Chain A
Amino acid sequence: MTSARARLPGARPSDARVVLDADAIRRAVRRMAHQILERHAGAAGLLLMGIHSRGVPLAHRLAADAADIERVDVPTGSLDVALYRDDYAQIGPRPLERTYFPVDAAGKTVILVDDVLYTGRTVRAAMEAVIDQGRPAAIELAVLVDRGHRELPIRADYVGKNLPTAADEVVRVHLSEHDGHDAVTIERAVQA
């Protein structure tokens, strides 16, 4: 979830601080993959769904780690939640990305994957989007960073890093697939 930027229009970031570097991200994703396999005693019935945009490469990294750890193939797809957001009337249309379910969601344990958990509104939209594709057995949530400030009763099942933040701070997740390098930074937004 990169809505931190959307929440602070016109904000000019200053003194960005790295809170997770490439190695730390790699270890955190690896640990989450272990936790997922441990909780489910393997990968049977799992479906990883990355939320656009940076949840998608994270979901594929979790799947690659799971394949490496237990030689299991976890189906991995991508989810665009723009049509399910609750701010269409306020913010307006967002560009739509491809939603792809590699297998039928019905009866699966769907693990939603996103980069930052913040207000929880993206996750609420994602749950509705998944349920419209077929009734899953369960929905779980894996995030690289939980920065707090929830506006809905939502929590993550797998967390890369809990990062206490102030509301006027901006958390950015950079992933090599999108940004050319891996890092999580936090910066205080200065109103322009």
Chain B
Amino acid sequence: MSVIDHLLDIRDLDAGAITSVLDTAEAFGDLASRPIKKVPTLRGRTVCNLFFEDSTRTRVSFEVAAKRLSADVLNFSAKGSSVSKGESLKDTALTLQALGVDAIVVRHHTSGAARQLSRWVDGKVLNAGDGRHQHPTQALLDLYTIREHFGHLDGLHVAVVGDVLHSRVARSLVQGLRTMSAGVTLVGPPTLLPMSAGSWDADVSHDLDPVLGKADVVYLLRVQRERMREQFIPSIREYARLWGMDRRRLETLADHAVIMHPGPMNRGIELTADVADAPNALIAQQVANGVAVRMSCLYLMLGGEHPIRR
């Protein structure tokens, strides 16, 4: 039986399911150091990357994950496809369905697009980011990276800093952390924290410095300039001064504390270059762990579907 049906929202996974994804990812982590990095598990399955928003690292990470499991991979991006000619999401979905795709990895600018897609196709749907809503595999790889470093998740305290309002990464991560019994403080200017932050089951602070000393993990969110059409912050320079991680702030962290960032980084805004390259920055590990965690999701989702063929 598949552990996961569709992967649309991190809240679809309880603590047991998240633990199962992370444990399985650990076994896949070893593959990267082998001479032959492929296993034949998903031979004959087809995974389609359907990306309506620009993304390099997430798409490539999913592509590598599917290929290491021996799945065939189709890359379908909005640019240069029939989508740019006005084809609807539903028609695109039905086309992929007709091609016999077993799983669709979808990124879309509309919140809820992945769930809508899952109603139209027979295959499994993995949400690779929908609007401001959810990015569950990013949350899982972050949970994996934190657990790999600390050995556990429960009882840790994570400060999530910056543009929480526009961030699907923050939404999924905070919910995943709470499911795994870690504590969260949201830190940022009032204009970049959601109105509903009080219902997030997390502490809220508008001042970064007092939070730093008690955090095990400082998770810096990307300033999403492409989503900020209105004036949320007075200036990038002011943001960097009030919410950016620099050498001075780094020295106020607990000795065991780590820095994380979902990428792509704006060096000089969310963090200075020397912080990004500091030994307690786990940013490179996050990227490396992405492949193993996505392999784990595909492995747990795509088995046991077909009737026994004799």
Residues of A whose CB lies within 8 Å of any CB of B are: 80, 83-84, 88-93, 95-99, 128, 132-134
Number of interface residues of B (CB under 8 A): 26
Residues of B whose CB lies within 8 Å of any CB of A are: 1-3, 20, 23-24, 26-28, 30, 34-36, 38-41, 299-300, 303-309
CB nearest to B36 among chain A residues: A132
What is the count of residue pairs linking A and B with beta-carbon distances less than 8 angstroms? 58
Indicate if the CB atoms of A91 and B36 lie closer than 8 Å: no
Residues of A within 8 A of B303 (CB): 88-89, 91-93
- Secondary structure call for the B interface: loop
Bound-complex Cα distance A93 to B299 (A): 7
Indicate if the CB atoms of A93 and B304 lie closer than 8 Å: yes
CB nearest to B27 among chain A residues: A96
Indicate if the CB atoms of A132 and B34 lie closer than 8 Å: yes
- Secondary structure call for the A interface: loop
| Most-contacted residue by chain A among B2, B24, B27 (CB, 10 A) | B27
Bound-complex Cα distance A153 to B39 (A): 23
Indicate if the CB atoms of A93 and B28 lie closer than 8 Å: no
* A133-B39 contact given A97-B27, A99-B30, CB 8 Å threshold: no
Nearest CB of B to A59, in Å: 18
Indicate if the CB atoms of B34 and A133 lie closer than 8 Å: yes
Bound-complex Cα distance A88 to B1 (A): 10
**Contact for B41 among A83, A90, A91, A98, CB less than 8 A:** A83
Nearest CB of A to B156, in Å: 25
Residues of B within 8 A of A97 (CB): 27
Indicate if the CB atoms of B39 and A91 lie closer than 8 Å: no
**Contact for A128 among B23, B28, B40, CB less than 8 A:** B40
Bound-complex Cα distance A90 to B36 (A): 26
**Top-5 shortest CB links A-B:** A92-B304, A96-B27, A92-B303, A83-B39, A93-B303
Indicate if the CB atoms of A96 and B24 lie closer than 8 Å: yes
| Most-contacted residue by chain A among B1, B23, B35 (CB, 10 A) | B35
Bound-complex Cα distance A140 to B306 (A): 33
Bound-complex Cα distance A97 to B36 (A): 19
Residues of A within 8 A of B27 (CB): 80, 96-99
CB nearest to A93 among chain B residues: B303
Residues of A within 8 A of B23 (CB): 95-96
Indicate if the CB atoms of A93 and B300 lie closer than 8 Å: yes
Indicate if the CB atoms of B299 and A84 lie closer than 8 Å: no
Nearest CB of A to B23, in Å: 7
Bound-complex Cα distance A121 to B24 (A): 22
Nearest CB of B to A170, in Å: 21
CB nearest to A90 among chain B residues: B308
Residues of A within 8 A of B39 (CB): 83-84, 132
* A92-B41 contact given A98-B30, A133-B34, CB 8 Å threshold: no
